[in-house]
Chains A and B, each alone.
Chain A
Amino acid sequence: MNEHPVQLVVEDDLERSRLTVFFRLLLAIPHFVWAFLWGIAVFFAAIANWVATLATGKPPESLHRFMCKFIRYLSHLNAYLWLVANPYPGFVGEEGDYPVDIKLPPPTEQDRLKTLVRIIFAIPALFLSAALGGAGSFRIPYRGRYGTYSGGGGGALAGVCAFLGWFAILARGRMPKGLRDAGAYSVGYTAQMLAYVLLVTDRYPNADPTAMLATVERPPQHEVYLVGDAHDLRHSRVLVFFRLPLLIPHLIWFALWSVAAVVVGILNWFATLFTGTPARPFHRFLSAYVRYTLHVYAFGYLVANPFPGFVGEEGRYPIDVVLPERRRQSRWVTGFRLILAIPAFAVNAALGGALSIAAILTWFVALATGAAPWGLRNLSAYALRYAAQLNAYLFLLTEQYPHASPLEGADEPQQTFDEAT
């Protein structure tokens, strides 16, 4: 696949000034005003750009440059707000003067028909962008038989990471790499989405985290990681169409198993607290549960195609998780495990929003094409990996904290479960 014309460049060293981080929102107020004013201008310029592109088949040079500057500026501002970068950003969106930057393409010929319906095509990307880089949630009010309700979503991964990062930076003066990478990914995706909507490029935003963070150093390999053939994107249309009803027996079984897992988890917690090591039968039971959870999630969220088994068997499912052997764990970390896991819960919830949207979009694409989109598949795999790491951490299968980076560990995971173990 060709490289996306909108590229994220990250040259950040994770060091942060505690003072500017503490007052970050207040310091950004002038930028909020400026971004608002610039946004109004961009709105009218975008309409002019759309008409011009429809007429000539190519965006005018001046409008293209204007849009590029706006996208770059907004990316700098997002990076600053979400604590992905440290320095105070400039107001003009200059290229190359900020540690988190966006490379944008020159104006090119664009298909008129695609340009005409660009805003409709962009809706899925807008939803995903809201889940990744949005600051809050969207709500849709509707009137029902018994009153008015509202529903909606939007996880805002970047917002959660920034919130957690704020505390970490004040304590340590450094942004945790996992949170920074997740924030950078959100900034990059939002930039690609904007570039698409504002006709800077006709390439659809690519949700693949690995491609987005190609210039970023990968984190060390986590003890809990996914294995399987990532390139197997095939989906049976029948299974896709009936995914929700097919999932219901699994959800019932999953709920029953979860009750047992919580009980066993508590027993395991006591055992580990007293002996320093998880009890062998508990470890085995909980490993199977964590593996089963992954299989069901992978099936439910359309990351994998086949109908999963009910027992969490190793190596049976195309996407599987490698879990560590039972070993000694710090009693302190064990004792406070639930409290320590709270930040990871927050990241997991934010990723869950993105995962749900990715699943809905994948449903439509897979139904039409019989295959999952590569980018969405990888975004979903990232969310599932994090959920598996959190589960393993919660159930004392590992002492290693979940890593929020969208990138895989530095050592390439093996292709099959047998090779991995």
Chain B
Amino acid sequence: MRLAVSAALAAALAAGWAVAAVLLWHSSVPALHLAHLDPGDYFSAQDLHDAASYSRGARWLWVLTTIAQLGALAVFARFGVRWARESAAGRMGTGMLLGMLGFALVWAVQLPFTVLAVWWARHSGLSTESYLTVTLGNWLALGGKFTFLCLALAIVMGLAGKVGDWWWLPAAPCFVGLALLFSFVTPYLLGGQRLDSPQLRAATVRLERIEHVQHVPVKVVTGMNEPNAVATGLGPSRRVFLWDAIIEPPFTQREVEVVIAHELGHLAHNHIWRSVGWYALFAFPGAFLIAAGTRRRGGMRVPEAVPFSLLVLVALNLVASPLQNVITRHMEAEADWSALRATHDTKAARMLFERFVPATLSQPDPPTWDYVLLENHPTIMQRLAMVQAYAASDAQSP
């Protein structure tokens, strides 16, 4: 009887999860049959070779870094509890220390690969950052990571102390709240400078009107090597940030307008809210699995469970990454479509995507496993195919 109730409850929860997922999945992109394009028709053999060569190295580095991370966490899960003697901070403080040390060790074992990645990017002409800057910057960035980790562990261990193994139920909403808060404050943390170009400012106003997004400041983040842009923030904190590399040649004004339209498209389709929604859908089962995984080690009430919980957390993230990539690719495709509808400038869009290959050395058509595990945007060839599909539909429309 009890089993049946549990099964029914689980089924109801799964159904609720599925309904929420379907609602969040909804997209304004029509059902498109994207053509399979041949990269050779768009890029020179040299560009394709350079991109393939760089991407191959970057993928191997990712594999090695991930193995090192999991290995370090597995060792830490087994022996990490010994570090508890270095704490005079009580139950929760000791848990925080163990959590921080776990990530510190991960940083240490990943350091050689980080240095290799810098070398690889410099060797390929993608970066001019010094090894010292990256290493020291990573070391100091650990402080930010530690702060969030401490906050998370304070929530989890505090709740576990109150409600035992059911901590995951109240903890998941807390994390969702934190994700909302983080989404809200991120634009203020990024800062950025005012967009200088009057033409781009005028284009932004025009695109905002077309995409029904009002009063979104566009800022420029300086000192970035990579051509990129992001839309972030909620409500009054919404902003579009352009990395300075994307507003400089070889990118043209029309191409930058496509980029701005793409980012405004994210805001127009509430992608930040929907990302938080997806996060909420993953947070509940994720927290439950961590609670279940650490139960045999005394549960998250005791600091001894923290090292193992880190391993579970990272493993779950890795397992969930293909699904997360499917979701982000889906949203990126919607933003691309939105940009095409707002600008009707298929030529600029095509040029923009074509420029990404030599500028970022992204492989236009990566291997399947790379696509599944690592690509959180549609591939360049998929994006070009969408441009082609839009051009065809635009030509047919009256």
Chain B residues with Cβ under 8 A from A248's Cβ?
143-144, 146-147
B93 touches A245 (CB 8 A): no
Asked if B89 is at the interface (CB within 8 A of a chain A CB), the reply is yes
CB within 8 Å of B: which of A311-344?
A: 311, 313, 316-318
Measured in the bound complex, the distance between the Cα atoms of B150 and A252 in whole Å is 11
Asked if B87 is at the interface (CB within 8 A of a chain A CB), the reply is yes
Please, which residue of chain B has its CB at the minimum distance from the CB of A251?
B143
Given A238-B101, A307-B97, A308-B93, decide whether A246 and B86 contact each other with a Cβ distance below 8 A: no
Chain A residues with Cβ under 8 A from B104's Cβ?
238, 241-242, 245-246
Please, which residue of chain A has its CB at the minimum distance from the CB of B149?
A249
Measured in the bound complex, the distance between the Cα atoms of B93 and A308 in whole Å is 8
B interface footprint on A275-308 (CB within 8 Å = 1, 0 otherwise): 0000000000000000000010000000001111
Asked if B94 is at the interface (CB within 8 A of a chain A CB), the reply is yes
Closest Cβ of chain B to A363, distance in Å, is 13
B101 touches A242 (CB 8 A): yes
Chain A residues with Cβ under 8 A from B272's Cβ?
none
A244 touches B143 (CB 8 A): yes
Chain B residues with Cβ under 8 A from A239's Cβ?
86, 101
Measured in the bound complex, the distance between the Cα atoms of B284 and A205 in whole Å is 59
A309 touches B93 (CB 8 A): yes
Please, which residue of chain A has its CB at the minimum distance from the CB of B145?
A245
Specify which of A236, A252, A307 is in contact with B89 (CB 8 Å cutoff). A307
Asked if A145 is at the interface (CB within 8 A of a chain B CB), the reply is yes
Chain A residues with Cβ under 8 A from B143's Cβ?
244-245, 247-248
Asked if B96 is at the interface (CB within 8 A of a chain A CB), the reply is yes
Measured in the bound complex, the distance between the Cα atoms of B142 and A145 in whole Å is 24
Measured in the bound complex, the distance between the Cα atoms of B90 and A238 in whole Å is 20
Measured in the bound complex, the distance between the Cα atoms of B85 and A383 in whole Å is 27
Measured in the bound complex, the distance between the Cα atoms of B147 and A249 in whole Å is 5
CB within 8 Å of B: which of A231-289?
A: 236, 238-239, 241-242, 244-249, 252
Asked if B60 is at the interface (CB within 8 A of a chain A CB), the reply is no
Asked if A310 is at the interface (CB within 8 A of a chain B CB), the reply is yes
B146 touches A306 (CB 8 A): no
Measured in the bound complex, the distance between the Cα atoms of B86 and A242 in whole Å is 13
B94 touches A245 (CB 8 A): no
Measured in the bound complex, the distance between the Cα atoms of B96 and A244 in whole Å is 15
A interface footprint on B113-148 (CB within 8 Å = 1, 0 otherwise): 000000000000000000000000001101111110
Asked if B40 is at the interface (CB within 8 A of a chain A CB), the reply is no
Measured in the bound complex, the distance between the Cα atoms of B86 and A241 in whole Å is 14
Chain B residues with Cβ under 8 A from A316's Cβ?
88-90
Asked if B182 is at the interface (CB within 8 A of a chain A CB), the reply is no
B89 touches A308 (CB 8 A): yes
A308 touches B223 (CB 8 A): no
Specify which of A145, A242, A307 is in contact with B223 (CB 8 Å cutoff). A145
Closest Cβ of chain B to A301, distance in Å, is 16
Chain A residues with Cβ under 8 A from B83's Cβ?
236, 238
Given A249-B146, A252-B147, decide whether A236 and B90 contact each other with a Cβ distance below 8 A: no
Residues in A lying within 8 Å of B, measured CB to CB? 145, 236, 238-239, 241-242, 244-249, 252, 295, 305-311, 313, 316-318
Residues in B lying within 8 Å of A, measured CB to CB? 83, 86-90, 92-94, 96-97, 100-101, 104-105, 139-140, 142-147, 150-151, 223
